[in-house]
A and B are shown apart, each in its own frame.
Chain A
Amino acid sequence: MNEYNFAYLDEQTKRMIRRAILKGLAVPGYQVPFASREMPMPYGWGTGGVQVSAATLTPKDTLKVIDQGADDTTNAVSIRKFFENTAGVETTEETEKATVIQTRHRIPEAKLREDQIIVYQVPIPEPLRFLEPRETETRKMHSLEEYGLMHVKLYEDISQHGAISTAYAYPVYVSDRYVMDPSPIPKFDNPKLEMDAIQLFGAGREQRIYAIPPHTKVVSLDFEDYPFEATKAEHCCDLCGAEDSYLDEVIMDDAGNRMFVCSDTDYCRSRREAGHMGRLAGENAA
């Protein structure tokens, strides 16, 4: 690990990223441009999140990395390895023990604390992009708070599907000022965006950083007659029995048998260790 600077990036780059993070925290939901660096992994592998984590980590931190809730996917493992090698920080799979959590597509089920930082990997930071491809125009719309278009998108959703079908990256209004893309987390996680921990969002390819400070008001956009709902599969976890966690559906065999399991693997494990059991607990499930 000595061939690298701490956490791979040079000190000047980390200072530049920290300035962007501080600006983001000072203006919740505002997309701060930053000079994204080449990272030794392809875009789409969370280079934005990795750079934010690199600028955030100190040698005393304990890092957890999750991908869609799981600590053991290729993506999560390789990012964890990357920081073990380049920063020498401790890593953990336990949400409780982590001080910095880098995530792709989920917020942990356990309530995060004030002394924790969660870093989201963001593919497309601009929530208005789908409707207005011109960057100059979307920046102007943010600066003038012209957000009618966001509701046009939700209108289209309802008119086509009979309900707001947006299930991931569900847009939010932060601190009564900026409309923000919360990254592709399921909308089930949206209510958790009002949390005690610091939330940082990094988009590598798009070169944007944004943030939500602790205890900030975050409202999911909706219509009066189609209110926002934080939905999940109408089941409980087949392994730990949890009724309140976001579930993945797993096809078990050719006969089409399915099971529902917590997407947050650490949450599921800790519940099972505490003795909770689901419908298929004890069977030899993956």
Chain B
Amino acid sequence: MNPLLQVKGIEKRYGARIGCRDVSFDLYPSEVMGIVGESGSGKSTLLNCMAGHLQPDAGQVIFDTRADGPVDTVTMSEPERRMLSRTDWAFVHQHARDGLRVTISAGGNIGERLMAVGERHYGAIRGRAIDWLGRVEIDETRVDDRPSAFSGGMQQRLQIARNLVTGPRLVFMDEPTGGLDVSVQARLLDLLRGLVREMGLSAVIVTHDLAVVRLLADRLMVMKDGHVVEAGLTDQVLDDPQHAYTQLLVSSVLQV
């Protein structure tokens, strides 16, 4: 089986400061990669480089496209990359407001990607939107409400529905449970786990919360100061951390 995504030697600097450097890994279909590390360790920088939101200073992000097989998305044309972003890729932001259109109804938010790829039947779009509201546990009577009337947890679930409606092959998530109450986080995690399994999603999830990767990620990368200090199967890394920093990270969680 070919990797869905091959990340090779990604480096991003902000002036003299290093955002991330020398990051490489392969992601296979239906695999979830977790990226953990403390604040400022370069997780978001790396994710944004992979998703095409930031231009890396070095490295390749090779995606196995439907049409042409493996292509370096860093050097592909902007129209091609934007097309990928609204079809085969999805991006879930930490702050739902960054990933939603707050002046548009929930149904319109979910339908946007469908319309962007040419769906022109109102009834079909609405049907899919209502179906997806159900899948993220939002009552279908809210289909015409604006997300500004939703709670934080509902907004995040709506953002997930809006991203998954076109059946993307790769989902990038940046702290998807960050900023939510603990009880709300648990429900969202359960939901995400269900969707990942059911849809066989491939995903890269960035988080500082080890409970999130424990539940969702098959494999794990631990980042510190912009580079990867340890990588492996999630359970192995968390149960038997090799690097001193990972040991510290794991032990500080256990003390909570």
A contact residues vs B (CB 8 Å cutoff) = 131, 144, 146, 148-149, 151-152, 155-156, 158-160, 222-226
B115, A152: Cβ atoms closer than 8 Å: yes
Tell me the interface secondary structure of chain B in the complex. Answer: helix
Task: Answer whether residue B23 sits at the interface, using C-beta atoms and an 8 A cutoff.
Answer: no
B contact residues vs A (CB 8 Å cutoff) = 78-79, 82, 86, 101, 103-105, 107-108, 111-113, 115-117, 120-123, 125-126, 143-144
6 CB-based A-B contacts, threshold 8 Å: A131-B101, A149-B112, A149-B116, A155-B111, A222-B120, A224-B121
* A158–B105 CA distance with the chains assembled, in angstroms: 12
* A89–B105 CA distance with the chains assembled, in angstroms: 52
Q: Given the known inter-chain contacts A152-B108, A159-B108, A223-B121, please indicate yes or no for A144 contacting B82, CB distance below 8 A.
A: yes
A156, B104: Cβ atoms closer than 8 Å: yes
Nearest to A151 among chain B residues (CB) is B115
A146, B82: Cβ atoms closer than 8 Å: yes
Query: Distance in Å from the Cβ of B23 to the closest Cβ of chain A?
Result: 29
* A226–B123 CA distance with the chains assembled, in angstroms: 9
Picked from A148, A156, A223, the residue with its CB within 8 Å of the CB of B116 is: A148
Contacts between the two chains (Cβ within 8 Å), count = 56
* A102–B72 CA distance with the chains assembled, in angstroms: 52
Q: Beyond A144-B79, A151-B115, list 13 extra A-B contacts (CB 8 Å).
A: A144-B78, A146-B116, A148-B116, A148-B117, A155-B115, A155-B125, A159-B143, A160-B105, A160-B144, A223-B121, A224-B122, A225-B122, A226-B122
In the complex, chain A residues whose CB is within 8 Å of the CB of B86 = 146, 148
A148, B143: Cβ atoms closer than 8 Å: no
Picked from A148, A159, A225, the residue with its CB within 8 Å of the CB of B107 is: A159
B121, A159: Cβ atoms closer than 8 Å: no
* A94–B128 CA distance with the chains assembled, in angstroms: 52
* A149–B101 CA distance with the chains assembled, in angstroms: 11
In the complex, chain B residues whose CB is within 8 Å of the CB of A155 = 107-108, 111, 115, 122, 125-126
